Structure 1
Amino acid sequence: MRWDGQAIGADDGALPGLERAGLVRSVRTPEFAGITFHEVTAKSALSKVPAMSRMPFRWTINPYRGCSHACSYCLDPATPVLLADGTHRPVGELRVGDEIVGTQSHGHYRRYVRTRVLDRWTTRKRAYRVSLADGTRLVASSDHRFLTERGWRYVVGGAGRREHLALGDVLVGPGRRATHGPTDGEAALLGQDVTGGGALRVEALEALGGADDLVELVDITTGTRDFVADGVVSHNCFARPTHRYLDLDAGADFDREVVVKFNVDEVLRAELSRRSWAREAVALGTNTDPYQRAEGRYRLMPGIITALADSGTPLSVLTKGTLLRRDLPLLADAATRVEVGVGVSLALLDPELQASVEPGTPTPRARLDLIREIRAAGLPCGVMVAPVLPWLTDSTRALTALLDAVRDAGATGVTVLPLHLKPGTREWFMSWLAREHPRLVPGYERVYGRGTYASKAYRSWLWDRVRPMLEARGFGVSGHRGPAGVEGRYRRGELGGLGDGGPPVDGAYPRGSLTGSASPAGPGAPPAQHPGALAGMPVDGGGLDVAGAGVEQVLF
């Protein structure tokens, strides 16, 4: 189906704040189910970074507002969903506010809890049937996820080598034949541990119809990010907070309402041709990811890269999207004329935790492969280990494994960054933490208080942990000024009994990720020494933030 044929009128569902952004048309297409792309005529392409941010660059370009990384998880409308009163209702008949059964992590266990339906919508996608040993037949989209004894798994594989179901996998849930009748108006399993069993073993996986055969499917959002579908624990879509300045809400709009500056390359060329342009370095990917899924359709980055290189302007790209592979030849060519830096963000290696905090994004393995390909193309590649999550990703074991992996992939530099919780982001993250790791909430409240940044004690403590790791792997720290703003060391017990944790506050980028720090060494060269191997946050603001469907999504 042609993209142009999917346009909707500017008065047909356009959001009020977009009128001032130069809205041309809004587009919906089955290729990106549940997402509306608002194409706007950009008045400017280059954005000047406020001086107070203390970022090591003054200019950036953001071709997109919002992000299409997140997946849309959909089921057959007839799929029965377990309600909180112990009865069932087809997912297609659920309404916002309905009380249903979800799950919540309690230490090392997951238990059934009461939750509510927060949103519901329909889409048309290709469907797949998952057949279980007990006779259950689940019909879902390829990117729907079910909970198995090995963690969350997509129905089928896809971009980024994502973890998917295989024959023999055992799904988790009460099972459709288990008796969970009402008990005093509640489902009998509320409060019980979530378990699996051989009856929920996957025996067959099959596509329904051909690639062009689309069927109506339904998706919901719940307070726990999951629900029980036909006896199996099923994931749902969870949106992240963002661009309120366009009158878009702080929830689903980030994933569903993507603003596209479709003329950005033309505007950029005009700006670069001005006599006043001093050819200062331009950083891309400092707000939303320029290589999100929508870039595969709009192809804005080739024009941007070419315009910058043709004008003699140095450039750098920071991304988590493996679509960057497409433009490696173009970036390599640009590097023969101007300085080019490439950065990849990678927060953790644990695939289950990664799927929980950043669903729909390329897996850690896929991003490590991307680093190797960037280096093989003769380009530098700095890695942003961000954000470090207290108690979740800051243990010696986790950091050692991650730094070993990025070193072996050929990274030219590494920067370690702590989690930052700005307003909007804070509410989302703490809600996620309360659902997934409630025992950690008191510790986070001690480390962050009511502020955006981790305490000085935490940053100092993490720096003590990370510094020798970086030095041992050839990621030099000789130029680092230490934890700026940290007076003295942390005292025993000052972290309130925290486990493993975080870095200092001096802003820095890994070698190779920004121009001015790119190494001329080839892909086989060892990681070079670089200053500022661990970065934190200037006391007066700026720096990295975390948002949305991926905690690891970094925003400046």
Structure 2
Amino acid sequence: MRWDNLRLDSADSASGDGGQGQLPMFARDAVVRTFDTPGFRGMTFYEVHAKSIVSHVPESSHMSFRWTINPYRGCQHACRYCFARQSHTYLDMDAGRDFDSRVIVKVNAPELLRKKLASPGWAGEHIAMGTNVDCYQRAEGRYQLMRGIIAALRDAANPFSILTKGTLILRDLDLLLEAAEVTDVGLNVSAAFVDPSLWRAIEPGTPAPERRIEACATLNDNGLRCGVLMGPVVPYLSDSPAQLDAAVRQIAAAGAAHVTPIVLHLRPGTREWFLGWLRTAHPELVGKYAALYDRGSYAPRDYQARITAQVRELAEKYGVGRANPRQARAVRS
């Protein structure tokens, strides 16, 4: 089974808290839980004991980091454009509603990380988090895996970075500050637009964009360096000059260390899910998307370059990344 790398063969457990019981098609040691509370209604969580938690990024990848941690698979944010959707099919689940509602929880992540960081072969390289699914999705409020993970990284003085669409990162402000005293800590929140109607339509499980940007402000106010990833800029829905201006203006006001736009890309799994929504919500755009993404998963380079240039100009206009008085006050205090 494709679950083999997520299980300890000798483990054996039973479900609880209203769980549905174990499903034979999944890992033998997976505890299957549901919670009858508003924030988790309709969700199923598969608590598994992973064999490893630090994943190596293939050398062929264009990513700037080589190691990642993903304590969850599947995501309650339910972003219609999430590029990680296809990875759920590796677990014999679908890339659509299963990805949004069936979340794998690697409950032993903090313990595995401590072992990895203490192993003789570990060289203390940078570890990125939030690069596949959000490590601060709503489930983290219950499972609290990130506190143990950050504490392990702090104790080993191991550099790390976090990207999130969640405001729950503020819960761990104390640990982040302690870690920043002994190692490099890179923080980014993701917020590509501030249009409330678009947010509700394509990011229904996330905190509002303004709350994410305010989380960035809070992190900077406390002396941490936090930027904003404008990901994704959605063609014909969030890419107008006025929409980009509104987003960058708020990002600048938050004292963001930098702002980086990423244009929507539609990989297999994500493509079908997003375009299915588009046909219902914006049928007038289907032809335009067919033309824009006719050669693959990515928008044409000239379109991407235009968006990047517009955001760069706006960042210069509003002073993103300049001397930050909010952060300076925090440091002085």
TM superposition score normalised by structure 1? 0.53
Q: Does 1:45 align with 2:53?
A: yes
Pairing 1:63-102 to 2, within 5 Å after superposition? 63-70=71-78
Preserved contact between residue 379 and residue 522 of structure 1 (Cα < 8 Å): no
CA contact (8 A) 2:161 2:186 kept: yes
Inter-partner Cα distance in structure 1 for 2:78 and 2:307? 31
RCO higher in structure (CA 8 A, sep ≥6): 1
Aligned-partner residue type, residue 268 of structure 2: P
CA distance in 2, matches of 1:373, 1:455: 36
Aligned 1:445-464 pairs, distance under 5 A: 445-464=290-309
Q: Which runs of 5+ in 2 are unaligned?
A: 1-14
Instruction: Select the residue among 398, 415, 420 that pairs with 2:265.
Output: 420
CA distance in 1, matches of 2:209, 2:17: 36
Question: Conserved in 2, the CA contact under 8 Å of 1:388 and 1:418?
Answer: yes
Instruction: Provide the rounded CA distance (Å) in 2 between the counterparts of 1:358 and 1:404.
Output: 21
Is residue 15–residue 247 contact of structure 1 (8 Å, CA) maintained in 2?
A: no
Say which of 23, 30, 33 aligns to 1:27: 33
In structure 1, C-alpha distance between the alignment counterparts of 2:108 and 2:67, rounded to whole Å: 19
- Report the Cα offset of residue 349 of structure 1: 0.6
- Quick one: distance in 2 between partners of 1:468 and 1:5? 52
Distance 1:295 1:464 in 2: 36
Residue 313 (structure 1) aligned to one of 151, 158, 167: 158
% identical equivalent positions: 49
Aligned match for 2:62, one of 51, 54, 63: 54
Q: Distance in 1 between matches of 2:185 and 2:308?
A: 29
1:348 equivalent to 2:220? Answer no
1:464 is displaced (CA, Å) by 3.8
For the residues of structure 1 that align with 2:147 and 2:271, how far apart are their CA atoms? 35
Q: Is the 8 A contact 1:242 1:251 kept in 2?
A: no
Name the SS for the 1:401 alignment partner.
helix
Whole-Å Cα distance in 2 between the matches of residues 46 and 15 of structure 1? 27
Which residue in 2 is equivalent to 1:396? 241
Gaps of 5+ in 1: 72-224, 226-239, 477-510, 512-518, 527-556
Q: 1:464 to 1:347 in 2, by over 3 A?
A: closer
State the one-letter code of the partner of 2:44.
Answer: T
Superposed CA deviations along residues 150-182 of structure 1, whole A, max 9, x for unmatched, are xxxxxxxxxxxxxxxxxxxxxxxxxxxxxxxxx
Partner of 2:21: 9
- The residue type equivalent to 1:262 in the other structure is V
SS in 2 for 1:430: helix
State the aligned residue count.
309
Q: Does 1:367 align with 2:212?
A: yes
- Displacement of 1:60 in angstroms is 0.6
Give the letter for the 2:158 counterpart.
T
| Residues 187-202 of structure 1: pairs in structure 2 closer than 5 A | none
Q: Quick one: distance in 1 between partners of 2:126 and 2:120?
A: 16
Q: Do the aligned partners of residues 366 and 475 (structure 1) sit closer, same or farther apart at CA in structure 2, a change above 3 Å counting? A: closer
Q: CA deviation at 1:472?
A: 2.3
| C-alpha contact 1:15 1:248 (8 A) present in aligned 2 | no
Per-residue CA distance 1:110-149 (angstroms, 9 max, x = gap): xxxxxxxxxxxxxxxxxxxxxxxxxxxxxxxxxxxxxxxx
| Matched residue, 1:407 | 252
SS of the aligned residue for 1:39 comes to: strand
Match of 2:273, SS? helix
Q: CA deviation at 1:460?
A: 3.1
Instruction: Provide the secondary structure at the position in 1 that maps to 2:45.
Output: strand
Q: Is the 8 A contact 1:286 1:318 kept in 2?
A: yes
Match of 1:524 among 323, 327, 332: 327
SS in 2 for 1:47: strand
Pick closer, same or farther for the CA change 1:466–1:304 going to 2, 3 Å.
same
Alignment of 1:127-138 (within 5 A): none
Structure 2 distance, partners of 1:242, 1:315, is: 23
CA pair 467-248 structure 1, distance change in 2 beyond 3 A: same
Instruction: Find the aligned partners of 2:301 and 2:77 in 1 and give their Cα distance.
Output: 33
Cα separation, 1, equivalents of 2:210 and 2:309: 28
Indicate how the Cα distance of structure 1 residues 261 and 458 shifts in structure 2: closer, same or farther if over 3 A, else same.
same
Change (3 A) 1:242 1:436: farther
SS of residue matched to 1:23: coil
Give the Cα–Cα distance (whole angstroms) in 1 for the partners of residues 279 and 138 of structure 2.
Answer: 30
Whether the 8 Å CA contact 2:220–2:326 is kept in 1: the answer is yes
Q: Which residue, out of 420, 438, 442, partners 2:283?
A: 438
Deviation at 1:400, TM superposition (A): 0.9
Give the conservation status (yes or no) of the 8 Å contact 1:37–1:258.
yes
The answer to whether 1:285 aligns with 2:130 is yes
Distance 1:464 1:368, change over 3 A: closer
> Could you say what secondary structure the match of 2:327 adopts?
coil
Shift in Å, 1:267: 0.9
Paired amino acid for 2:52: S
Write 1 or 2 for the structure with the bigger share of strand: 1
Distance 2:268 2:77 in 1: 22
* Structure richer in helix, relative to its length: 2
**Structure 2 match to 1:97:** none
1:469 aligns with 2:272: no
1:291-310 correspondence runs (5 A): 291-310=136-155
CA-atom RMSD, angstroms? 2.3
Retained in 2: the 8 A contact 1:6–1:29?
yes
Bigger Rg, structure 1 or 2: 1
Q: 3-state DSSP class of the match of 2:65?
A: coil
Question: Partner amino acid for 1:48?
Answer: H
Q: Which amino acid aligns with 2:173?
A: L
CA distance in 2, matches of 1:465, 1:522: 25
Taking a change above 3 Å as real, the CA distance of residues 467 and 326 of structure 1, as seen in their structure-2 partners, is: closer
Cα contact 2:252–2:315 (8 A) shared by 1: no
Give the CA deviation at 1:282: 0.6
The alignment partner of 2:30 has SS state of strand
Match of 2:11 in 1: none
